[in-house]
């Protein structure tokens, strides 16, 4: 049987293991990216490992999340990241240069390479035929030091595209349709690989939108072939020499195949408050809208901004709408300006923000009380916007601009003739905001502000584990629930003691105080626990507060890996119905936990001390994971150096 694109790239980078679905493998990492919301911790971890210099082909430190400088904290962290990059041999992308995964797609992506990023939307670069995976920051630090990345070999799902998108339908509608079918947990343990005649109708930036939001499926990554459209994009960026053709063999086998006829799709929209709460725009038209934002993490390329600008020509946003443009990169904004689009946007009443994530992570652009906000972003989890409660819808730039004009959710096909927008044959390129490191970092001093605290030390796993259930939560808890973002919390990302005071803030504001009082803590959860962002703060801060184990029905991939990396036991109920048997305040005990891990046990017994009831739980981890948990965290092993 022939090989898929994903199998070809994984095979070329395989360091350990066999490419059998579900088995642990280790792959060599060519590129890494970090962003400032997670990157400060990555470099603190890299320093704690005492690694002298990065060993990857390309590593880039992007500043794209914490761009608001309302006091000294963000400015100090940006200086820390710049000097750390120079010290360790990392390219530094200046604040405002753009979103990590978009700038990497534009300036550094190479077909066939592996990319590991401390941002869950790193799979954006799957649009360039990179094996691009989001991971926790400690995994990135290890990869920068030369260690391979460990994961369970995913199942590879083929998504066969046919037909051609109709007018006013775009790539966002493709991934929203897939989310409607598959749900936010449908992609766990899978790679989505796109093939078929419809693929060649999509540009690389179209493909990147689909790859970006593949993260919302829970997928390990998404990937497209490297074909003539890939070459076309690289040549437009002045990087045609990086192109290699990579396509699936004609007899490649997929574990399942999903068929999507692009010509049958129509504008789609995700209603509050989950990316898979998807329906047709035509079915919910008429809801009044107060805010519309185009750009940020997804749908922020030249094409997305320019289609918005063309649609605004001779028009103005509705008086009740705050219409905002959040460019994904300075390059996108520069080219929209060069081709006359910025004038249309400004005349149409749009507010132009600096290039970065901003509103997507709740760093500004929070909607008003009771307002409806339409966004071309990838996530609409409760409170992620910076307001709680909120009412956020996810849609394409086409639907967004139509709704901004009419002041209500509107099918964009009502705007008339579809503007003719193509990506430039040659982009206007400006790399002046990329700072390359010196040949040697020996003379570089890393500058740290008073808000930057050393990486906390965690001890090894105890012989017996006993603690109090401080919190019990339902299904689909996100990392935004566990460790909120936003302008109040994110500036504390390099200060674990301070940021830990916000753990579970929107679920249970008293969680930090009760956890510290309990000393040793258990958390109980439902299905798909920890979906969403790759932020490892959702594991580090709970561990700092004393969380030692989480008992849930199922875990999201990245969060489970982060829990292991920081010494928190990821336990799954053998019988999901046992979830009902544990309540907050119960005291739990796992006797001989250390010996059980050393012996390779996969089934453990948790005793509820009040009733004496025993509940069986599964510990589904690899031999390497056992070593990490026994050591109290990956940092204590420092495998790479």
Q: Is 535 marked active-site?
A: yes
Which SS3 state, helix, strand or coil, does residue 3 take? coil
**Strand order from edge to edge, sheet including 14-16:** 14-16, 24-27, 149-152
Distance CA 534, CA 138 (A): 11
Tell me the C-alpha distance between 124 and 418, whole Å.
26
CA distance 120 to 108: 18
Helix (H, G, I), strand (E, B) or coil at 101: helix
379 is catalytic: yes
The residues that bridge with 561 in the sheet, in sequence order, are none
Annotate 177-212 with DSSP letters as a single string.
HHHHHH-TTTTBTEEEEEESTTGGGS-HHHHHHHHH
Are 582 and 588 in contact by the 8 Å Cβ rule? The answer is: yes
Two structure tokens written together for 104: 């990497």
Catalytic site includes residue 533: yes
Q: Please state, in angstroms and rounded to a whole number, the distance separating the CA atoms of residues 216 and 528.
A: 12
Catalytic residue among 222, 355, 515, 533: 533
391-395 and 268-270 as β-strands: parallel, antiparallel, unpaired?
A: antiparallel
| CA-derived radius of gyration, the chain | 23
Q: How far apart are CA 288 and CA 408, in angstroms?
A: 4
Edge-first strand order for the sheet with 256-261 is 221-223, 190-195, 155-162, 256-261
Q: Among residues 119, 139, 276, 390, which one is catalytic?
A: 119
Q: Which of 379, 384, 413, 559 is catalytic?
A: 379
Q: Which of 535, 543, 557, 626 is catalytic?
A: 535
Separation of alpha carbons 244 and 224, rounded Å = 13
Cis bond upstream, residue 550 (ω within 30):
no
Closest by CA to 177, choosing from 192, 189, 188, 190, is: 192
Residue closest to 226 by CA, chosen among 162, 132, 143 = 132
Decide: 543 and 635 in contact? Cβ < 8 Å.
no
b/e code 451-471 from CB counts within 10 Å (16+ = b): bbeebbebeebeeebbbbbbb
What size, in residues, is the chain? 641
**Strands, E assignment, 340-429:** 351-352, 372-375, 391-395
Q: Is 119 a catalytic residue?
A: yes
Strand partners, 392: 373
Active site annotation includes 64: yes
Exactly one of 13, 31, 59, 65 is catalytic; which is it? 65
Which of 30, 36, 64, 77 is catalytic? The answer is 64
**Residue with structure tokens 């809208």?**
289
For residue 386 the two structure tokens come to 């910076």
The residues annotated as belonging to the active site are 64-65, 119, 379, 533, 535
């Amino acid at each position: 049987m022939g090989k898929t694109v994903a199998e070809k790239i994984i095979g070329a980078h395989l360091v350990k293991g066999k490419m059998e679905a579900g088995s642990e493998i280790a792959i060599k990492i060519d590129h890494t990216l970090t962003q400032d919301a997670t990157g400060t911790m990555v470099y603190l971890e890299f320093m704690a490992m005492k690694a002298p210099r990065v060993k990857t082909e390309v590593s880039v430190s992007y500043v794209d999340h914490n761009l608001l400088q309302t006091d000294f904290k963000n400015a100090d962290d940006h200086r820390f990241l710049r000097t750390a990059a120079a010290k360790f041999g990392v390219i530094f992308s200046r604040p405002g240069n753009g979103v990590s995964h978009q700038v990497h797609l534009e300036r550094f992506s190479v077909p066939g390479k592996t990319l590991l990023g401390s941002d869950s939307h790193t799979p954006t670069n799957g649009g360039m035929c990179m094996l691009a995976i989001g991971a926790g920051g400690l995994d990135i630090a290890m990869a920068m030091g030369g260690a391979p990345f460990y994961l369970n070999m995913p199942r590879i799902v083929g998504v066969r595209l046919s037909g051609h998108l109709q007018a006013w339908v775009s790539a966002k509608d493709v991934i929203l349709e897939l989310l409607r079918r598959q749900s936010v947990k449908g992609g766990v343990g899978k790679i989505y690989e796109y093939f078929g005649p419809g693929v060649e109708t999509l540009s690389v930036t179209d493909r990147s939108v689909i790859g970006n939001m593949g993260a919302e499926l829970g997928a390990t990554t998404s990937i497209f072939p490297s074909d003539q459209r890939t070459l076309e994009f690289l040549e437009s960026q002045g990087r045609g020499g990086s192109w290699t053709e990579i396509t699936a063999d004609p007899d490649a086998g997929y574990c399942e195949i999903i068929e999507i006829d692009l010509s049958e799709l129509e504008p789609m929209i995700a209603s509050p408050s989950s990316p898979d709460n998807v329906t047709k725009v035509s079915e919910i038209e008429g809801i009044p809208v107060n805010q519309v934002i185009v750009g940020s993490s997804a749908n922020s390329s030249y094409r997305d901004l320019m289609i918005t600008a063309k649609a605004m020509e001779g028009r103005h946003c509705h008086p009740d709408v705050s219409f905002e443009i959040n460019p994904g990169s300075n390059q996108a904004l520069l080219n929209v300006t060069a081709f006359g689009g910025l004038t249309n946007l400004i005349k149409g009443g749009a507010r132009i923000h600096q290039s970065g994530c901003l509103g997507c992570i709740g760093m500004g652009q929070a909607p008003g009380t009771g307002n409806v906000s339409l966004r071309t972003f990838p996530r609409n989890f409760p409170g992620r916007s910076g307001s709680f409660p909120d009412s956020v819808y996810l849609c394409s730039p086409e639907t967004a601009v139509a709704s901004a004009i009419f002041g209500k959710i509107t099918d964009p096909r009502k705007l008339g003739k579809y503007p003719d927008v193509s990506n430039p044959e040659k982009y206007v390129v400006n790399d002046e905001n990329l700072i390359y490191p010196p040949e040697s970092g020996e003379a570089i001093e890393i500058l740290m502000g008073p808000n930057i605290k050393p990486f906390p030390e965690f001890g090894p796993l105890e012989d017996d584990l006993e603690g109090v259930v401080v919190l019990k939560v339902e299904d689909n808890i996100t990392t935004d629930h566990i460790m909120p973002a936003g302008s109040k919390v994110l500036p504390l990302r390099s200060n674990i003691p301070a940021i830990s005071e916000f753990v579970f803030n929107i679920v249970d504001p008293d969680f930090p105080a009760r956890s510290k009082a309990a000393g040793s803590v258990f958390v109980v959860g439902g299905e798909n626990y920890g979906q969403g962002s790759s932020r490892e703060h959702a594991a580090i801060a709970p561990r700092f507060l004393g969380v030692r184990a989480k008992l849930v029905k199922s875990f999201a991939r990245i969060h489970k890996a982060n829990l292991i990396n920081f010494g928190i036991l990821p336990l799954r109920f053998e019988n999901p119905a046992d979830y009902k048997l544990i309540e907050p305040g119960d005291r739990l005990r796992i006797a001989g936990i250390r010996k059980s891990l050393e012996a390779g046990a996969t089934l453990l017994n948790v005793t509820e001390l009040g009733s004496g009831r025993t509940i069986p739980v599964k510990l589904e981890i690899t031999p390497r994971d056992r070593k990490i948990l026994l050591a109290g965290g990956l940092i204590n092993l420092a495998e790479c150096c």
